[in-house]
């Protein structure tokens, strides 16, 4: 019998005898773990590797759990020298022992496996949801619902909506619903079967997938055809006289076959033409929307399916989950005016009385949907709310717009966040441009003493611009540490407070995880997107870094439009050919070098946000030392255009340390 000093995981069977002969084998690795911790629903492989010069030395390998033989179940697989356990659950925790027997040697190694309840990394996302379905009376209806989540506990719930007096809810807003089925973490997609359907089954059905972080739901309409519906639609009933006449008429049958063949030829021809056209385009055909924010517009909702005799009524309202921790009474909000407006939403300035456990009036921003918002936009808004709640639970950061609360009852959904007096960064920078409304003044863009002025009279110098970039990098470092991908990082989505503190907004539309592949259609910020995101809709933290490089260009061009001379349809080919925007007028060589690194064609070669924080911090320190060194020169130039009290106005260019 052979043993090894320090190998606490090895043991001798009680009945074994120590032999003086040379051991047949030894453990192949000295780094085998004693304790292994894994999350439920995952897979674990436990090796039992031995080293021997004689391949026939190993006579038997046995595996035991808690002293008993491994059960013969599909989830346990023993192959060669390892044990594989699939789809672990908490009951699989225990001591797993590998026992190797040879001619002169016996070795044992015990693993202590601890299976912990998996914590989900993100809100469930239904990838294969229920589809609109048409069936006849007496037939069976089938819906399916599948989420992409592979870890953590997910609860699926099937809900039937009832239309009563032309409404899906009563006077108090309580929905008319029936919960048909609830499943906790099924291994297969959740399914709903309705046997022997009647007209009373017709209506909307919703699948909701929920975990501890939030929920996602999809709805579908079930259309039930009775005999009258079938006659009106021209679909022959089985055994009907119409069917018999058709079946007994060879002439009609031939005509039908010829017509069907012609339709098939036309469909195939059209499909081939469309395929070739799309192939030439190399990517999605973009329809440019001529707005101040150049984006790409594509339809959000699919066209109605054919085959139904009537269109379904409008879907039921989207219901918002109540969360007492964040609920804020809407009667303690006083609206002061609109500060921003988008395609389907409005942002208003308001006074909140006693929000955030602060017993006083606070100025806040309140986001809400327009009445014209579609069901998809409503669901996106609820998703934004749930993500902001989760990020808030992870912690606050001075450089992100922090979530304060919401109002979900007795009125439209209100999302309450921090207020930034100076609006978004793009518009703020535009007001700082030289010559606009007579506010701008500067010595030279190449001079460290360069400065301009805002309409409010604040001085903006190069160190402020570097500080803006530095602050955004810190906010993105925080979000990326929480596995959040922004997907739309641009100056229009950065807010500026009264003290020049920058806050990243609209990160509630982020996706959690290492990468996110966009499957739905919508409006895309083409000029800020990385090549891999632009071509195949694959968003990662490194695609956010590319967007950050474009944001840097916006900052140092004082809100300029990226790629001003390149049409959208030519942008992708230009970028793949190696074109990069030239250095903006106000950027130093070092700042431009950071931009170029962010625009590396290979995502893995781009810096991460922690590296960008360090690089921009270094540039900020250099700019401060340059201004101090050239203070006398700057003083002479400043005295020509601005009074002394304005020249040395101390604004908060760098927020306090928070790490």
pLDDT given at position 231: 62
Query: Which token pair is 106?
Result: 């016996």
Catalytic residues: 488
- Give the pLDDT confidence score for residue 659 in this predicted structure: 25
Binding residues: 311, 340-347, 367, 492-493, 506
To the nearest 10°, report the CA torsion of 327, 332, 338, 339: -70
Three-class SS state of 9? coil
Q: Is the pTM higher than 0.75? A: no
Q: How far apart are CA 591 and CA 606, in angstroms?
A: 15
pLDDT of residue 456: 67
Distance CA(460)–CA(502), nearest Å, equals: 14
pLDDT of residue 51: 66
Q: What's residue 638's pLDDT? A: 32
> Does residue 205 contact residue 232 with C-beta atoms inside 8 Å?
no
pLDDT in tens, 78-137: 887 788 888 788 888 999 998 888 777 788 888 899 887 766 656 777 888 899 999 999
Coil vs helix vs strand at 142: strand
Going along the chain from its start, the domains and CATH numbers come out as 24-116 (2.60.40.10), 125-229 (2.60.40.10), 330-418 (3.30.200.20), 424-441+448-649 (1.10.510.10)
The secondary structure of 285-344 as a DSSP string is PPEEE-SSS-EEE--SSPPPPSS-SSPPPPPPPPPPPP-TTTB--GGGEEEEEEEEE-SS
Q: What is the 3-state secondary structure of 53-115?
A: CCCCCEEEEEEEECCEECCCCCCEEEECCEEEECCCCHHHCEEEEEEEEECCCEEEEEEEEEE
C-alpha span between 489 and 510 (Å, rounded): 10
| HSE-up of residue 426 (Cα within 13 Å, Cβ side) | 15
Annotated binding site for Mg(2+): 311, 493, 506
Calculate helix-pair angle for 541-556, 462-481, nearest 10 degrees: 170
**pLDDT value of residue 202:** 92
Pairing label, strands 133-136, 214-225? parallel
Percent of all residues in the chain with a pLDDT value above 70, rounded to a whole number: 69
Q: Which residues of the chain have pLDDT under 70?
A: 1-25, 27-33, 41, 51-56, 118-122, 149-152, 185-187, 229-252, 275-319, 343, 358, 434-451, 455-457, 507-523, 625-659
Phi-psi region of 196 (alpha: psi -120 to 50; beta: other; left: phi over 0): left
Question: For 94-105, what is the HEC assignment?
Answer: EEEEEEEEECCC
- Strand-pairing partners, residue 417, are 365, 403
Q: What is the structure's pLDDT at 627? A: 56
Binding residues for ATP: 340-347, 367, 492
Q: Which SS3 state, helix, strand or coil, does residue 353 take? A: strand
Per-residue pLDDT at 450: 61
Average pLDDT of the chain, as a whole number: 75
- Other beta carbons within 10 angstroms of residue 234's beta carbon come to 8
430 near 399, Cβ under 8 Å?
A: no
């Amino acid at each position: 019998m052979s043993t090894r000093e320090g190998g606490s995981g090895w043991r001798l069977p009680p009945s074994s005898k120590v032999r003086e002969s040379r051991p047949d084998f030894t453990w192949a690795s000295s780094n085998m773990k004693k304790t292994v911790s894994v999350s439920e629903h995952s897979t674990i492989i436990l090796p039992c590797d031995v080293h021997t010069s004689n391949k026939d030395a190993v006579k038997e390998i046995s595996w035991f759990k808690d002293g008993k033989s491994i059960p013969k179940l599909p989830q346990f697989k023993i192959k060669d020298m390892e044990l594989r356990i699939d789809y672990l659950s908490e009951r699989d925790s225990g001591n797993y022992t590998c026992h190797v027997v040879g001619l002169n040697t016996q070795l044992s190694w015990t693993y202590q496996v601890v299976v912990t309840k998996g914590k989900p990394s993100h809100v469930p996302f239904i990838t294969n949801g229920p589809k609109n379905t048409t069936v006849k009376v007496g037939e069976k209806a089938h819906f399916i619902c599948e989420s992409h989540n592979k870890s953590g506990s997910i609860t699926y719930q099937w809900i039937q909506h009832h239309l009563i007096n032309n409404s899906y809810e009563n006077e108090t807003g309580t929905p008319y619903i029936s919960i048909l089925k609830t499943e906790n973490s099924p291994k297969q997609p959740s399914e709903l079967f309705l046997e022997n359907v009647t007209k009373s089954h017709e209506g909307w059905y919703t699948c909701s997938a929920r975990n501890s972080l939030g929920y996602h739901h999809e709805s579908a309409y079930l259309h039930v055809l009775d005999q009258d519906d079938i006659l009106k639609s021209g679909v022959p009933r089985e055994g009907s006289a119409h069917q018999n006449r058709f079946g007994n008429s060879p002439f009609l049958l031939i005509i039908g076959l010829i017509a069907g063949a012609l339709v098939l030829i036309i469909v195939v021809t059209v499909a081939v033409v469309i395929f070739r056209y799309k192939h030439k385009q190399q990517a999605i055909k973009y329809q440019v929307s001529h707005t101040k924010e150049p984006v790409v517009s594509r339809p959000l909702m699919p066209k109605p399916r054919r085959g139904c005799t009537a269109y379904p009524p409008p879907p039921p309202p989207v219901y918002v989950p109540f969360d007492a921790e964040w609920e804020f009474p809407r009667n303690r909000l006083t609206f002061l005016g609109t500060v921003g407006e988008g395609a389907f939403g409005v942002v208003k300035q308001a006074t909140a009385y006693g929000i955030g456990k602060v017993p006083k009036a606070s100025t806040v921003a309140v986001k809400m949907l327009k009445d014209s918002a579609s069901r998809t936009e409503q669901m996106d808004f609820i998703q934004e709310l749930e993500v902001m709640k989760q990020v808030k639970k992870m912690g606050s950061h001075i450089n992100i717009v922090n979530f304060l609360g919401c109002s979900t009852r007795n009125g439209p959904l209100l999302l309450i966040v921090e207020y930034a007096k100076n609006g978004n960064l793009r518009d703020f920078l535009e007001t700082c441009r030289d010559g606009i409304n007579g506010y701008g003044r500067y010595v030279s863009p190449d001079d460290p003493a360069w400065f301009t002025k805002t309409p409010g009279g604040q001085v903006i110098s190069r160190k402020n611009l570097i500080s803006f970039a530095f602050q955004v990098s810190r906010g993105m470092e925080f979000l990326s540490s929480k596995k959040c991908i922004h997907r739309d990082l641009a100056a229009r989505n950065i807010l500026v407070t009264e003290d020049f503190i920058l806050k990243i907004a609209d990160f509630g539309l982020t996706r959690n995880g290492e990468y996110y592949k966009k499957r739905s259609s919508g409006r895309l910020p083409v000029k800020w997107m990385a090549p891999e995101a632009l071509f195949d809709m694959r968003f990662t933290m490194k695609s956010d870094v590319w967007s950050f490089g474009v944001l840097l260009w916006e900052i140092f061009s004082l809100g300029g439009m990226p790629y001003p001379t390149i049409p959208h349809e030519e942008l992708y080919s230009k970028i793949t050919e190696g074109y990069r925007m030239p250095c903006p007028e106000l950027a130093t060589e070092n700042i431009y070098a950071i931009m170029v690194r962010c625009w590396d064609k290979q995502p893995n070669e781009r810096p991460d946000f922690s590296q960008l924080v360090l690089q921009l911090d270094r540039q900020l320190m250099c700019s401060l030392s340059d201004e101090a060194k050239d203070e006398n020169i700057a003083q002479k130039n400043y005295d020509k255009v601005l009074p002394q009290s304005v020249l040395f106005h101390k604004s908060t260019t760098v927020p306090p340390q928070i790490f």
